[in-house]
Amino acid sequence: MNYMKTGMLLAALTALFMVLGFTLGGRGGMVIALLVAVGMNFFTYWNADKIVLKMHNAQEVEPGTDFYQLVAALAQRAQMPMPKVYLIHEDNPNAFATGRDPEHAAVAATTGLLNRLNRDEIEGVMAHELGHVKNRDTLIMTMVATIAGAISMLANFGLFFRDRNAGLAGLLAVFVAPFAAMIVQMAISRTREYGADRAGAEISGKPLALASALSKIALPAQQIPNHASERNPATAQLYIVPVGLSNMFSTHPATEERIARLQEMAGENGFGGGYRGDAGITGGPKRSALDPLGRN
């Protein structure tokens, strides 16, 4: 079912790309748009992780460091292949996962996130990212971001160079295509974030730790600049919390709703909360933060 949804969403975005190409260049433009879309799909499939990580100037974390060992323990608990682990030197507190499948996955977190959260909360966040990998969300999220970004760029180009004979229909296509692509992005991320929250809570065994982390980073993620997202807005859907976006255009469900669902999980039979933290959700003493580059 997941592969079917992936194929349908990619087909929808490719069709949008072709319609825009036809509007701007007729049949020849549509054929070119199709070839470009297929080429992007193929290239992104094999290079999704490299593309995203390069956008963020991510630094690979060595085995033996605290952060690496934390992710390794979570991956072992989830019975998943060990992903590559990256650190991003950004104050914006965030994290994401990328890669075409669990065997070729990578997870990354910013220094801003690691400096703001305690160890249990970091476990919750990274378990959420492993949840995306386990649910095979990472490929489609990255590919959609790439194609949607290309549609927006082509539409902006068309505003200046469109055929004068295209008339109102052409102008509407130029404006509507980017919004249609954005709607597809929202449909993908809003449903899959809930799934990754649940999978992450099951992997870590601490739904309240993830809820606590979300409550701590949601506002700073909106307020503190995220340089990679400013350069490439389509990457915003990859993050665990949205960056610098109004609720109307957010690719994520409301953080308050995600926290409420995680609290419900903690109260489910057979699912302990597993966390007594300091984020105003459960109360209790603060635990020491993780040193991302420190060695055990």
Q: Residue 128, annotated ligand binder? A: yes
* Helices (runs of H) and strands (runs of E) counted in the chain: 9, 4
Mean pLDDT of the chain: 80
Q: What confidence tier does 290 reach under pLDDT thresholds 50, 70, 90?
A: low
Give me the mean pLDDT over the 94-111 stretch.
94
CA 199 to chain centre: 15
Residue 176 in tokens: 């509507």
Neighbours of 272 (CB within 10 A): 12
Q: What is the distance between the alpha carbons of residues 114 and 122, in angstroms, rounded to a whole number?
A: 7
pLDDT in tens, 151-204: 666 666 655 555 554 555 556 556 666 666 666 666 666 788 999 999 999 999
pLDDT at 10 over 90: no
In one-letter notation, the amino acid at residue 129 is: E
Q: What is the pLDDT of residue 143?
A: 73
**pLDDT digits over 52-99, tens only?**
899 899 999 999 899 999 999 999 999 999 999 999 999 999 999 998
**Which is more confident, 50 or 81?**
81
- Residue 256 annotated as part of some ligand binding site: no
Contact, 66 vs 295, CB < 8 A?
yes
Q: Which residues are catalytic?
A: 129
Nearest to 126 by CA among 145, 105, 147: 105
39: confidence class by pLDDT, cuts 50, 70, 90: confident
Q: Is 56 among the annotated ligand-binding positions? A: no
